[in-house]
Amino acid sequence: MNLYYCSLYYKNDHVTGANKRFDEIGIRLLESSAFDLVCIVTSGNRPTWCPKENCIEISGFKSKLQRLRAWVKLSLLLWRLPKGVLYNDFQPKPTFFVLKRHKHFQLIHDLRNFDKFKRGGLGVFSAFFQKAQLKYSENVVSVSNYTTELVENLCSKNRENIITSYNGVSGSYEGGFNNREIDLLYIATYEERKNHARLLEALNQIIHRKLNIVFVGSDLGLMSEVINKANSVSASAGHSFEFLDQISEEQLTDTYKNSKIFCSPSLYEGFGMPLIEAYKYGCLVVCSDIKVFREVTLNEAVYFEPTDVDDIKSTLESSFLNYDGLLNSEHAKKVTNYFSWDAITKRLIKDLNSK
């Protein structure tokens, strides 16, 4: 059976959680005998792992009008293709008539349009639009039980038509690296929900030691503001900051291996892939006490209240002082094994076949 593996958001030159998921699962689906994989992406974004004969490229988009054009082209393409399974993350989803032709699975990474961190570009209508998209999808794939519960409750979606398919990591635990030079690492796009501002306020109050801090992420509007605040913190508290934008997987791996603490003060996530990557490379994970992070860390990270600067500060201070005692390689191995791309893809294939 044909599996139309579609993402019009995928960028083959960007290191993001969504792109990693598309690559890692796509690689395994291509190797599987369960489906004949057809990858659908925008022009110039064919994944390196996907042969040309297995890939269809359509025009990309930047504006709302171009996005609408991409939706029309995708719908027409799927109408012409033989019947199969459509696994898709693009919204608007293809037309109703097209979806009657294929078994449809709509991937969703988060439901932040229902929170204050909207991204749909439709203002107050973003949540309404997303609810309609998911409610009337044949099947929905979410990346965490937390997101699954939101889809069920906020989008009036029947639970039996929602699949939880986690994000993951490749390979086994690789901790044990010594002489780490980065005291604190945070990987996140620069936007309000990532909460860089409160983290910097907390770091400004840590004055008993000079810290080497690395922020990795692309700009979604707040990067210059974060850099200016970091410069102020550096001047007052003496900490050094390095800002990395788009880096290769090899550079990212080396950064994890060279970091003592991975800290995420995020206010909202659909999953939180950097946390499990940090576990894989032996970092101490210190993060927001939010429901999805409890799920992703299997309830055993070092947690703080992300809206309380004093709590972030005291938790980080304690973590630096008790770093060796807080590291737990057995738990890190447990997390790494639990969120394995191999196991995640096998379960997904089973779900795609059984629905």
Question: Do 245 and 163 have their domain in common?
Answer: no
Residues of the domain holding 50:
2-168+340-354
Q: What are the residue ranges of helices labelled H in 172-296?
A: 196-204, 223-237, 249-257, 273-280, 291-296
Res. 123: pLDDT tops 70: no
Question: Do 347 and 244 have their domain in common?
Answer: no
CB 248 within 8 A of CB 289: no
In this structure, the strands spanning 139-142 and 103-108 are: parallel
The position carrying tokens 């191999």 is 342
- Taking the mean position of all CA atoms in its chain, how far away is CA 198? 21
pLDDT (tens digit per residue) in 244-254: 987 889 999 99
Instruction: Report the share of the chain in percent with pLDDT over 70.
Output: 98
pLDDT band at 116 (very low <50, low <70, confident <90, very high): confident
Question: Do 194 and 292 have their domain in common?
Answer: yes
3-state secondary structure 16-72: CHHHHHHHHHHHHHHHCCCCEEEEEEECCCCCCCCCHHHEEEECCCCCHHHHHHHHH
Strand partners, 183: none
Q: What pLDDT sits at residue 76? A: 96
Average pLDDT over residues 124-141: 90
Assess if residue 174 is contained within a domain.
no
Strand partners, 36: 2
Average pLDDT over residues 54-71: 95
Mean pLDDT of the chain: 95
Per-residue b/e over 217-249, b at no fewer than 16 CB within 10 Å? beeeebbeebbebbeebbeebebebeeeeeeee
Distance CA 136, CA 238 (A): 54
Res. 277: pLDDT tops 80: yes
Q: What pLDDT sits at residue 117? A: 76
Res. 124: pLDDT tops 80: no
Assess if residue 175 is contained within a domain.
no
How many domains are contained in the chain? 2
Question: Do 191 and 145 have their domain in common?
Answer: no
pLDDT (tens digit per residue) in 294-335: 999 999 999 999 999 999 999 999 999 999 999 999 999 999
Question: Do 21 and 160 have their domain in common?
Answer: yes
Q: In degrees to the nearest 10, what's the CA dihedral of 36, 39, 40, 46?
A: -160
Distance CA 354, CA 1 (A): 13
Phi/psi-derived region of residue 321, left when phi > 0, alpha when psi is between -120 and 50, beta in every other case: alpha
Q: What pLDDT sits at residue 97? A: 85
